[in-house]
Amino acid sequence: MSATIISGKEISAKLRGKIKEETHALIQSGITPGLAVILVGSDPASTIYVNNKEKACAECGFYSEKHVLPADTTQDELLHLIERLNNDPKIHGILCQLPLPEHISEEAVIRTIRPEKDVDAFHPVNVGKIMVGDYDFLPCTPAGVMAMLDECGIDPRGKHCVVVGRSNIVGKPMSMLLLHRHGTVTICHSRTKDLADVCRSADILVAAVGKAGFITADMVKEGAAVIDVGINRTPEGKVVGDVCTAAVAEKASYITPVPGGVGVMTITMLMQNTLKAAKMQLK
């Protein structure tokens, strides 16, 4: 078997077309969706992500603000900026790029962003809403994965969905979304026994580990759908996922590429959440 490549770029182009149309209509009624993106420090990968988010805002017709703060910014200074953005009517969504420097508590930052403006869906209020299946925002990366599955007609219902990785950003909410869609979900992590065996039993395998080439072909069942959430840089500077794509594509039915897969979908879902935040705040 040779896998069908699920193009995040193509699906994003389609979804962004709809977002642009809706934004145009919203602007006619006097509201321009506004997103504030905060970056503390100058991590090269984070800088690229933040710039891509800003570009996507321009593409969709949103107002955007980029706040780049020095790495020695204090927690109080950052929380003050968030408070100011919380009270700024031009801003409907606030995103603080993670990871943060060690002297700043991610938890404090996440809790300070008002839940109505929390377009990452990281605030405990939004996490709780996702848990019970009654949410305003879905976290961007898992939402992007679900949109890719839907676009390809891959229904998680009754399937064994294996999520490798248990982060708050991806693994945990990803598992919950698959469960809401009636998947039988297994979450694996660094202490999972017989990880390869568990992966081999997956109909849908989501890799969110952060290690280049972690998922090898022998860990994949013939005909599985393989979703690669990893964005890793090799010593040569090449961007690769968590999956050995070429070898796994020989066995899988579907596979997502890196780059051009989940990463671009994450940003598209951020645009969708910002548009939703603007509409919610209009009410």
List contacts with ligand GUN (CB under 6 A). 95-98, 120, 140-141, 169, 266
- Please say which residue, 112 or 141, places its beta carbon nearer to ligand GUN: 141
Taking the complex as a whole, how short is the minimal distance between the CB of residue 251 and ligand GUN, in angstroms?
29
Taking the complex as a whole, how short is the minimal distance between the CB of residue 98 and ligand GUN, in angstroms?
4
- Please say which residue, 96 or 149, places its beta carbon nearer to ligand GUN: 96
Taking the complex as a whole, how short is the minimal distance between the CB of residue 204 and ligand GUN, in angstroms?
21
Catalytic residue flag (residue 97): yes
Catalytic residue flag (residue 75): no
Residue in 120, 203, 228, 242 annotated catalytic: 120
Q: How far apart are CA 210 and CA 242, in angstroms?
A: 6
- Please say which residue, 93 or 156, places its beta carbon nearer to ligand GUN: 93
Residue in 9, 88, 90, 97 annotated catalytic: 97
Taking the complex as a whole, how short is the minimal distance between the CB of residue 170 and ligand GUN, in angstroms?
8
- Please say which residue, 96 or 198, places its beta carbon nearer to ligand GUN: 96
Active site amino acids: 53, 97, 120
